[in-house]
Amino acid sequence: MNNQEFYHEPVLKKEIISLLVTDKKGIYLDCTLGGGGHFRAVAECLEPGATMIGIDRDSDAIQWNLRNPLQTSSRVIIEQSPFSEFDKVLERHAISAVDGMLLDLGVSSWQIDNKDRGFSFMGDGELDMRMNRNSGISAAEFIASSSEAELCTILDRYGEVQNAKRMARTIKQCSHPIVTTFDLRNCLIKEYGPNLKYKVLAKVFQAIRIAVNDELGELQRFLEKSVSFLKPSGRIAVMAYHSLEDRIVKEFFRAGELGCICPPSQPVCTCKKVASLKRVTRKSLQADDAEIARNPRSRSVRVRVAEKLSNRNRYI
C-alpha cells in the first residue's frame, strides 16, 4: 500500500458509541478496523486504563492504522486477523473477555475505490476481491474454478440476481478470459447490451465478493463464539449492509434471548437451553435522511445490538 489516505466515513458514529460503550475503563474490540473511524471514535471516549483492540483481515487497513497511531492513554492493540478468529488475538494478549465488540461489515470505501483491489466494476483492475490478498483464491480464479451450476447458486443466493442461470452461463461461456474487472463487466454488457443497469452489475460483483471472502460463514462463526468472550452486560453491535447478513444477526440475537425451547406439552425441560442475550435494539437502527445525504453508504445500514445477560439474569 502506498501512503495515500485510507479513507472511510464511519456510519452512525455517535449512535454506535452510545450503544456500545458501557464502561469507559473497559476493553473494546473493533473487529472491522478499516480506516479506523469507529475505532478512533470509541477510543476517544475511553478513560485511562481502558484497552482498545482493532483487527482486520486486510493488511492495508492494519498498516494504515499502525502508521497513524491514536493519541490516547488507553492500551492499543492492532493485529491482522479474520474476525472469526478474534479469540486467538485475545488469547495472545491474555484477555479472556471484553466489554464490547463491533462489526461494521462489508468493505471500506477505500477498498472499493482502489481499482487494484478489484472490488468494483467502475475501474479496471485485476479481478481479485480478496480482503486478505495472502489467503484464498481471487475472484478471477473463483470464476474459472466454479461450475456453471455453482456460479448460478452464488449469484442467486448472494446477489439475488434475476435469472441467475442465464447470468452464470454468460460468465462461464464468455468468449474472452475473465481476468480483470472490465473483462467481467464487458462480458455481461456484450450479452445484455450497453444499457445493463449498474444495479445488476453491483449485485453480480457483490455475490462474487461474498463467496470469495466467505463473508456469511465468517459472520456465523464469529457470532457463535462471541458471547463466550463478552463480560456480563458486555455488548455486541453489528452493522449490516445487506439482508443476508442482517438476517443472520437478527436470528442469532433472537435465539440468544430464548430460554427453554422444549415443547409446552413437555413437563420437564430436557433442552437445558438458557437465555444468554438481551436485545438492546428491538428493531434495527437505520441512518436518518441527514446522514444518508452526507454519507450515501449509510443508506442500507441496519444496526443491531445485544447485551450479554449476567448470570443472575439468565433464565430458562
Ligand X SMILES: C[S@@+](CC[C@H](N)C(=O)[O-])C[C@H]1O[C@@H](n2cnc3c(N)ncnc32)[C@H](O)[C@@H]1O
Q: How far apart are the first and last CA of the chain?
A: 51
Q: Which position among 51, 74, 108, 170 is part of the footprint of ligand X (CB under 6 A)?
A: 108
b or e along 7-17 (b: 16 or more beta carbons within 10 Å of the residue's beta carbon)?
A: ebebbbbebbb
Report the residue number, 48 or 69, with the smaller CB distance to ligand X.
Answer: 69
Nearer to ligand X, 114 or 181 (CB): 114
Tell me the β-bridge partners of 30: 54, 102
Q: How far is the CB of 288 from ligand X (least distance, A)?
A: 18
Site string for ligand X, 217-236 (x = CB under 6 A): -x------------------
User: Which residue, 191 or 214, has its beta carbon nearer to ligand X?
Assistant: 214
Q: Is 61 in the site for ligand X (CB under 6 A)?
A: yes
Sequence-separated (6 or more) residues with CB below 8 Å from residue 34: 6, 8, 56, 58, 61, 104, 108, 110
Q: How far is the CB of 163 from ligand X (least distance, A)?
A: 29
Residue of 17, 26, 42, 82 that binds ligand X (CB under 6 A) = 82
Tell me which of 104, 128, 245, 307 binds ligand X, using CB under 6 A.
104
**What is the rounded distance in angstroms from the CA atom of residue 212 to the CA atom of residue 215?**
8
Residue from 28, 64, 83, 253 in contact with ligand X (CB under 6 A) = 83
Residue 164 or 210 having the CB closest to ligand X: 210
**Number of residues this chain uses to bind ligand X (CB under 6 A):** 21
In the chain, which ranges are continuous DSSP H helix? Answer: 13-20, 37-44, 59-67, 86-92, 109-113, 139-145, 148-159, 164-172, 181-192, 198-212, 215-226, 243-257, 289-294
If one asks whether residue 100 binds ligand X (CB under 6 A), the answer comes out as no
Q: Read out DSSP for 81-97?
A: --GGGHHHHHHHTT---
Q: Is the Cβ of residue 66 or residue 269 nearer to ligand X in the bound state?
A: 66
Sites of contact with ligand X (CB under 6 A):
8, 10, 32, 34-38, 55-58, 61, 82-83, 104, 106-108, 131, 218
